[in-house]
Amino acid sequence: MAHSVVLRRARPFSFLRLSPDLLFWGALLLLNGLLFLPAYLLNQESSRLLPFDVIRHDGWHLLQDLAVARPNFDLFRLNLELFLFVALWIFVKPLQRGWVRGLFIAIYLLAFCYYIYEGISLFIYFSEPVFYSQSHLITAGLPFLLQSLQLSAATYVAAGFSFLAFIGLIYWLARLMTEEARVAQLSRATRGTMLGVCGFMLALLVYLAGNLASPEMVVSSLFAKLEQNLAESARVYEKIHGYDDSVIFETYDYTDKVLETKPNIYLIFIESYGSVLYKRKDWIKPYRDLLAEVEAELSADGWSMASALSESPIWGGGSWMSYTSALFGLRIDNDAEYLALVDTYQHKAYPDFGAYLRSQGYHYAWLTSISRELKEDRWQVYQRFYGMDHWVRFKDLNYVGPMVSWGPAPLDQYSLNFARELVEESTDKPILFYNLTQNSHYPWYELGELADDWRDLNDPDYPQPNAPAELIKHDAKRQNYFNSIRYELKMLSDFIRSDTAENSIFVLVGDHQPPQVSRRDDSSDTPIHIISRDADFIASFFEYGFEEGMDVSVIEPALRHEGIYSLMVRQLLQQYGEEGVDLPNYLPNGVSFSVTDPEPTPEPEP
């Protein structure tokens, strides 16, 4: 009798049916790894996919790095809630219900969104998320960012479809992992491993408690992160509502301290100018060569320089907090504090550096060259807050030349020179001139050499610098960053040397470290250079940790941004004040934000 052979049509992925353990672990580990993917992708310039290079291989440190925490955003971590849910699903049969699976998927998607939020916060601000501090950045900053990126409608449609596809992927993985028939077939080894892993994580939870909120922990807990976020939000809330400016007005009451000589003062913050330039082997020599070149140019024209590092209150973004801390003599390290100050000082003036110099007869001018304009009522809010006399905005620059960097913005060589001429023509008073440069803002363009005459830039046919490619390689990105800093320092050298006023003072300060090309362990220090033809004035800063010239040998902060205000007033009065003036104290930590803050550390009288 002939035997017939029946050929069965193979189903796609049917081979996985033969291995329920493999399918279970594959789905579980993929769901787990996806939670840590955002932080890795956003911070991959400073992280490694495999953590072995950051693991110390000596005894207790090896165990600590492998099982407790390590400073690297790799994917080899475990989410406590995910593993506990799966363990409960396996061992508690009444939980194996469709609605429980649906609840799990909903919570997982919320957790994934939170991990994206955490990754963005670490990437931009080098800090863990705080709802209360960052709510305005999300509600107002995200729409502004999307407008600035000018993404096409097709991009938004593609993003929408990608999100729906991602939801489908999560649903599919959850079904593969929790299907009742497959769970019933799991081996004793899988069940035992799940119990062991969950026991280990619970032991860490008991031993380390709230530390599981840290992104460096090997075992990560969403609920610990939320608890820490809410606690920190409450702390910031209490700090803001404990704000007391009576000490501020008393401390910064300098109006009776008279300047007899009033040199023009230029306070220029250099975007993304960070001390990381001293901390990379391939940057430190060309950076120091650049500083020597700029120093030689300035010295040849009779300028003296003092330089140091200053600790910024923020890391890779939020420039407004950095320069406001310096102007106000008050450490502002989160957006909620900044917004509270903006609201408070709409109908009364804060006694900041600009207010003091205005009381001495100065004309206070700001330059903001970014082309993305705010609504007029918002401009007025910020003008009342900072109290400037003259705000030069993009519309005032009459500019039709190349646009680069964030915003985008004109080339700084044009903006600064045009604004200086405009301000000088508008007043006979001494000038306090503030600007945050734009051309070293991420994304870094391929900037060329300076124009022979800055006026030549105002030409629609002037060569447009190349924008960075969307998927630019890291080495090219780093080179573009360094070139942008070179452009800014050379431009500022040219700008300073073209100044014709007597004894003008230029204070050049980095606002924060550059994102993407600096690391978490690079600190938040930024260079500060004080430049003037008055050599005695420059020499007066040496006793505060400044070094002569543009370079520094001590790669540690000599001051903090919030101490710049009191230091500048003290040194101005010492050099240019009326005879016998009572010099104010230098406050290296500024003034406390609220009554709940610790008192600033006093500085011994020099």
- Partner residues linked to 528 by β-bridges: 308, 509
Write down the pLDDT at residue 534.
Answer: 97
Does the structure show a pLDDT above 50 at 6? no
**pLDDT band for position 465 (50/70/90)?**
very high
Work out the angle between the directed axes of helices 98-125 and 222-241 (0-180°, nearest 10).
Answer: 50
Mean pLDDT of 391-417: 95
Of 434 and 162, the structure prediction assigns the larger pLDDT to: 434
Q: What's the pTM value of the predicted model, to 2 decimals?
A: 0.85
| pLDDT tens figures, 339-365 | 999 999 999 999 999 999 999 999 999
Rounded Cα distance, 545 and 437, in Å: 26
Does the structure show a pLDDT above 50 at 16? no
CB-based contacts of 5, cutoff 8 Å, min separation 6: none
Of 598 and 488, the structure prediction assigns the larger pLDDT to: 488
Mean pLDDT of 279-300: 97
Of 412 and 470, the structure prediction assigns the larger pLDDT to: 412
**pLDDT band for position 140 (50/70/90)?**
low
Q: Which amino acid is at 597?
A: D
Write down the pLDDT at residue 219.
Answer: 93
Write down the pLDDT at residue 53.
Answer: 65
Write down the pLDDT at residue 208.
Answer: 83
Q: Considering the chain, what is the average pLDDT of its residues?
A: 89
Residue 565 · residue 509 · CB < 8 Å:
no
Write down the pLDDT at residue 317.
Answer: 81
**pLDDT band for position 141 (50/70/90)?**
low
Of 34 and 605, the structure prediction assigns the larger pLDDT to: 34
Q: 261-576 has which fold?
A: Alkaline Phosphatase, subunit A (3.40.720)
Does the structure show a pLDDT above 50 at 530? yes
- Residue ranges in 222-280 assigned as alpha helix (H): 222-241, 246-251
Residue 479: which of 287, 294, 288, 296 has the closest Cα?
Answer: 287
**pLDDT band for position 54 (50/70/90)?**
low
SS3 category, 448: coil
Q: Which two tokens stand for residue 69?
A: 């925490």
Write down the pLDDT at residue 83.
Answer: 96
Alpha-carbon distances, residue 251 vs 164, 328, 606 (angstroms): 56, 11, 19
**pLDDT band for position 316 (50/70/90)?**
confident
Distance of CA 493 to the CA centre of its chain: 26
Mean pLDDT of 487-496: 98
Of 145-149, 183-187, 437-441, the least confident: 145-149
Write down the pLDDT at residue 393.
Answer: 97
Domain boundaries along the sequence of the chain: 14-237, 261-576
Does the structure show a pLDDT above 70 at 600? no
For the chain, counts of helices (H) and of strands (E): 20, 13
Q: Which two tokens stand for residue 364?
A: 């206070």
**pLDDT band for position 1 (50/70/90)?**
very low
CB-based contacts of 315, cutoff 8 Å, min separation 6: 125, 126, 127, 512, 513, 524
Mean pLDDT of 439-447: 93
